[in-house]
Structure 1
Amino acid sequence: MSQSAPGAIRVGEPVGRWVLLTTVLGSSMALLDSTVVNVALPRIGEDLDADLAVLQWTANAYMLTLAGLILLGGALGDRFGRRRVFVIGTVWFAVASLLCGLAPNGGLLILARALQGVGAALLTPGSLALIQASFHPDDRARAVGVWSGLGGAGAAVGPFLGGWLVDGPGWRWVFLLNVPLAAVCVPVALRHVPESRSVPAGGTAPGRPGAAHRRFDVLGATLGALALGLVTYGLIDSSVVAGVVGVLLSVAFVYVERRQPDPMLPLSIFASRQFTAINLVTLCVYAALGGFFFLSVLQLQVVAGYSALAAGTALLPTTLLMLLLSGRSGELAQRIGPRLPLTVGPLLCAAGMLLMLRVGKDASYVRDVLPAMVVLGLGMVTLVAPLTATVLASVDVGRAGLASGINNAAARVAGLIAVAALPLLSGMGPETYRLADELASAFRRAMPMCAVVLVVGALIAWTTVRRVPAEAAACRPECRLHCAVTAPPLDPGGNERTPP
């Protein structure tokens, strides 16, 4: 076993490159599956003879379990070992991906997607946490920057890769590709990545009192996941009963979290008005983005007649702009404060979505699609890095990891609800996605709705977000090359780690 001690690895060492390889592969699997599956949805529906609800659940089953369990996944890594939980999550994710690729019908595909989300909730928090724990303090920022850059490049080409797979070997390879990636990732992690966890019982983790002997909030996690699932089911299947029960379970979740000695979601963190405001902005932004990316790939393929490869390629400008310019955006926000970027960013995104209304039958990419993607990308560039930095600056240092996890989960919940609600609000029926004229009409109704939600987010930012100290609002390395469109970057919190 070729392992160095936690906190002693250098980026330039061979073991450092192995650690970066396995963490990039692990995070890339989860990151890609959050984006590339949308490109495959029309072909999945065609091959499995599925209605719109199956396509919604194919996207949402993954987001449901990921959003509901991501905070618990980070806590499990802290307690039982970050490498151990990361490896378990990677294996789980790969097995679930294999089941997705072999699914003979929509029901089994949805179940496998939910299992994929569980695996992603285990490996996603651990990927960056392993880097923070493994590398020497002098090399951590550089290591995170390399990890972020490689992961960002992977996310940028994700929709293109998904489209190529769908048009080539078939949509099932969108999922099956994860199996060989995991086959490389797991042995490297076991051989080269040192184990780490929070201080063993009897001590406390720096900045996180009592972290070593906290109990797991299984009841809270269960109530939260059930509430999300029932609300989502109520919206997708137009079930009032399910929706009402989901809302009641949401109330029960808040009640339990308020009374739990060690809650998964400590409500006291929302005492920070800045933190609450930023999460409201996050909900608005990522709800609009979730609905947009779900419907836009359908619009491009069904209405505009693009192939899956062309539709995936059409999304590249947005992610490439984020990859190239997020760092500069973070530095600008550090100088002028987050209020203006968090107001202008959503407004630019709203403009980009309204420009997509020009995309109809036989749409020209250069004339109709590209301007919308560029404006949307500039909006994302403007807001993502300042949003993440402000979230982390709005709470005590010891709660940075928790704050980042909550913000990341809020973004995923927003996308989940949007994918469930937007087709209903725009009047889409079970077979609308197969009918170009009906889908085009629904798309024309949906884009202004997304734009309105973004305007609301901009208003919240303008009226509630306040400037934070420059050193607190510094753009973290993981923000500089970030280009995922489903959630803001996840920060594991403090850098102090101890061996098992």
Structure 2
Amino acid sequence: MNSAVDAPAPARGSGRDNPWLTLAAVALGVMMVGLDGTVVGVANPTIAADLDASLAGLQWVTNGYLLALAVLLIVGGKLGDRFGRKKIFIVGIVGFALTSLLCALAPSIGVLVAARVLQGVAGALLMPNTLALLRAAFPPAELNRAVGIWGGSSALAVASGPIVGGLLVEHVSWESIFLLNLPLGLLAAFVTWRWVRESKDETHVGSFDLPGVALLSGGLFLLIWGVIKAQDHGWGSAYVIGFGVAAVIALVAFVLWEARTADPLLPLDLFKNRSLSAGVVLVVTGFFALFGILFFIGLYLQNVHGYSPVQTGVRLLPLTATFVVSAPLGGLLTEKLGPRVPLCIGMLILAGCFFGLTGLEVDTGYGGQWPFYLLIGIAMGLVIVASTEAIVGNAPVERGGLAGGLQSTANQLGGVLGTAVLGSVIVSGVGSALAGNLADAGVTGAAARAVEGQTELIAQGVAPVGPDTPAALAQAITDASFQSFMDGLHTAMYVSAGLALLSAIIALLVSRGHGAGDGTVVHV
């Protein structure tokens, strides 16, 4: 068992002995990243028009950022453990602010995508070290409460992002959504430099594991690239299978290398802790369901119901704004009961909500939607904080940055997989239902064949109706297209509900991080 070298700071004090100033600094950092994640989606149509971007180019504004972030998060946490979490956190904040400025000044879609990739690199330095700084600053009795506030700060940014972004795009410009990060970044960097205490792993000072970095980053890149491109090539295509096989080879090679090297990037003995391993799985499955469903509920509200991005953001407030309350509540419950109970309750609520959302129809009013959004927001607040405790609370303090990187990587990986896999499920569901729905609506012959060739467009909730289509035929195509989208969405809801139920069972394996106070890993 390993003892922590950098013991947690006292709960009360002044200056750099005050953990609440550390919480304020890291909260500003996660708010900056949270805002960036949601305001960009609102600005996409305006960016496409201003920079003459194709759909593929526009998708890479998001996917380039996610790729860089996901493959480097563990590396960012490891760098913080090795060279100082405060130091790497400040580098990440400053880098995020500067690359946001580069995004705002981008003259073309290619430059914007490149700037977003660099922004993802900066985010990978920033995010995992937020949790590590909290772990080093707070005593065990207050750590879960601090993580709850950390999660609530991120949720507040996520909740306000679509509304703030919509207002800025409408009344200022799309560039202004990136400039918003500059004052936040400067403030966060100053607070961190002035008041946050440095911490790092003093017990592991060997060489940096460059082969491990290359194998892990390469393996995750190959995996995520293959998943993203499956939408274009199909899951059974040689292209996607080839990337999948290459990813497996790289990740197996990574495990074999880590087992034999003296100074591993990701010490495999961490996973001997059952609670930590289960926590990683639960973060992936939880965010798989949440991100996938949120993406397509957004399409449902905008394309089927015809709401604007700002109107959609307002209608999703019962889900996103609830995080502000449910994340601190999750911290309190985890502090009192340990992570197992909140995780089980949260996953069961998610399963019930996803089953309930299979009742959504084309004309379902908002009154039939918002209670489910509210409950999902409550459930995710419990899941996020409790799974973070299961991972970070069961890792030694000196490996706090590594554990934070592991948690953040699982988060991003779950989100990317959820959007891509459930997207494929919806496309498949649309393809299965479309012919029958067209026939039921009275669309036959050449008109039906033309619509059947637009499966991927219909899977976004868009009816492929041309400007010269007769009104009666246009209405019939719209009805059949929307119904097919709903059929695909229902299938995705069933998949998510089943995954949430499986996650509730896995949550039974999780125990409280008994070694949180002294940095000792307790194997249970």
* TM-score scaled by length of structure 1: 0.77
Cα deviation, residue 114, structure 1: 1.6
Is 1:261 aligned with 2:304?
no
Query: Could you say what secondary structure the match of 1:465 adopts?
Result: helix
2:462 alignment counterpart: 435
CA distance, structure 1, for counterparts of residue 277 and residue 330 of structure 2: 22
* Aligned residues of 1:42 and 1:298 also touching (Cα < 8 A): no
Matches for 1:282-301 after TM superposition, within 5 Å: 282-301=283-302
**Higher mean C-alpha displacement, 408-417 vs 21-30:** 21-30
Please show how residues 92-107 of structure 1 align to structure 2 within 5 Å.
Answer: 92-107=95-110
Q: Percent identity?
A: 36
Residue 430 (structure 1) shift = 6.8
- List runs of 5+ in structure 2 lacking aligned partners: 1-7, 234-238, 428-454, 464-477
1:94-120 residue CA offsets vs partner (Å, 9 max, x unmatched)? 222123233344443332222111101
Q: How far apart are 1:286 and its partner, in Å?
A: 1.0
Asked if the contact 2:144/2:332 (under 8 Å) is kept, the reply is: no
Partner of 1:227: 219
Paired residues for 1:86-485 under 5 Å: 86-130=89-133, 150-190=153-193, 192-193=194-195, 196-198=198-200, 205=202, 210-211=203-204, 213-237=205-229, 238=233, 239-240=239-240, 241-332=242-333, 338-356=339-357, 364-365=365-366, 367-392=367-392, 394=394, 402-427=402-427, 429=456, 433=460, 435-436=462-463, 441-442=484-485, 444-462=487-505, 465-466=508-509, 468=511, 472=514
- Change in Cα spacing, 1:374 to 1:145, as seen in structure 2 (3 Å) is closer
Q: Which moved more, 1:130-139 or 1:284-293?
A: 130-139
Work out the CA distance in 1 between the residues paired with 2:97 and 2:210.
25
What per-residue deviation string (whole Å, max 9, x for no partner) do you get for residues 23-78 of structure 1?
43222112222333334445445555555544543333222222222222223223
SS of match in other structure, 2:172: coil
Letter of the 1:218 partner, please give it: L
The reply to whether residue 59 of structure 1 matches residue 62 of structure 2 is: yes
Equivalent-residue separation in structure 2 for 1:233 and 1:184 (angstroms): 35
TM-superposed deviation, 1:363: 5.8
Report the CA distance between 1:412 and its aligned residue. Answer: 1.2
Say whether the 8 Å CA contact 1:51–1:431 is kept in structure 2: no
Q: Which amino acid aligns with 2:224?
A: T
> Structure 2 counterpart of 1:232, which letter?
I
CA distance in 1, matches of 2:48, 2:351: 29
Larger radius of gyration: 2
Q: Is the 8 A contact 1:79 1:198 kept in 2?
A: yes
1:390/1:13 Cα in 2 relative to 1: closer, same or farther (>3 Å)? Answer: closer
- Residue correspondence of structure 1 range 19-30 to structure 2 within 5 A: 22-30=25-33
Give the aligned residue type for 1:250: L
1:406-448 Cα offsets, whole Å, 9 max, x none, are 2331121111222333333322637964834557744641453
Local SS of the residue matching 2:266 = coil
Structure 1 residue 139: deviation in Å?
9.2
Q: 1:279 to 1:228 in 2, by over 3 A?
A: same
Write the deviation string for residues 456-476 of structure 1: whole angstroms up to 9, x where unpaired.
34324426624635x8399x9
Q: Give the aligned residue type for 1:452.
A: V
Report if the CA contact (8 A) 1:90-1:182 is conserved. Answer: yes
1:400: how far off? 5.5
- In structure 2, the CA distance between the partners of 1:46 and 1:391, relative to structure 1 (3 Å rule), is same
Shift of 1:287: 1.0
Contact 1:7 1:137 in 2 (8 A): no
Question: Any idea what SS the aligned residue of 1:34 has?
Answer: helix
Q: Does the 8 A contact of 1:339 with 1:461 survive in 2?
A: no
Instruction: Report the Cα offset of residue 494 of structure 1.
Output: 5.3
CA 1:268/1:8 → structure 2, altered by over 3 Å: closer, same or farther?
closer
Alpha-carbon distance in 1 for matches of 2:139, 2:284? 36
Point out where structure 1 has 5 or more consecutive residues left out of the alignment: 1-5, 200-204, 477-492, 496-500
User: Do the aligned residues in 1 keep the contact of 2:166 with 2:309 (CA within 8 Å)?
Assistant: yes
Q: CA deviation at 1:90?
A: 1.7
Report the CA distance shift for 1:454/1:170 in structure 2 as closer, same or farther (over 3 A). farther
**Can you list the C-alpha shifts for 1:166-197, whole angstroms capped at 9, x where unaligned?**
3332433222211232244434544x235624
Look up the match of 1:480.
none
Q: In the TM superposition, what is the alpha-carbon distance from 1:15 to its structure 2 partner? A: 10
Contact kept, 8 Å, 2:144 with 2:334, in 1: the verdict is: no
Q: Look up the SS of the partner of 1:472 in the other structure.
A: coil
Deviates more, 1:59-68 or 1:9-18: 9-18
Q: How many angstroms apart in 2 are the aligned matches of 1:176 and 1:443?
A: 38
C-alpha displacement of 1:151: 4.8
CA contact (8 A) 1:52 1:433 kept: no
* Residues 283 and 410 in structure 1, CA contact (< 8 A), matched pair in contact too: yes
Q: Are residue 79 (structure 1) and residue 82 (structure 2) matched?
A: yes
Tell me the amino acid that sits aligned with residue 214 of structure 1.
Answer: G
More displaced stretch, 322-331 vs 26-35? 322-331
Please give the alpha-carbon distance, in whole angstroms, between the structure 2 residues aligned to 1:23 and 1:320: 20
Q: Give the Cα–Cα distance (whole angstroms) in 2 for the partners of residues 121 and 317 of structure 1.
A: 29
Partner Cα distance (1:337, 1:21) in 2: 25
- Taking a change above 3 Å as real, the CA distance of residues 180 and 391 of structure 1, as seen in their structure-2 partners, is closer
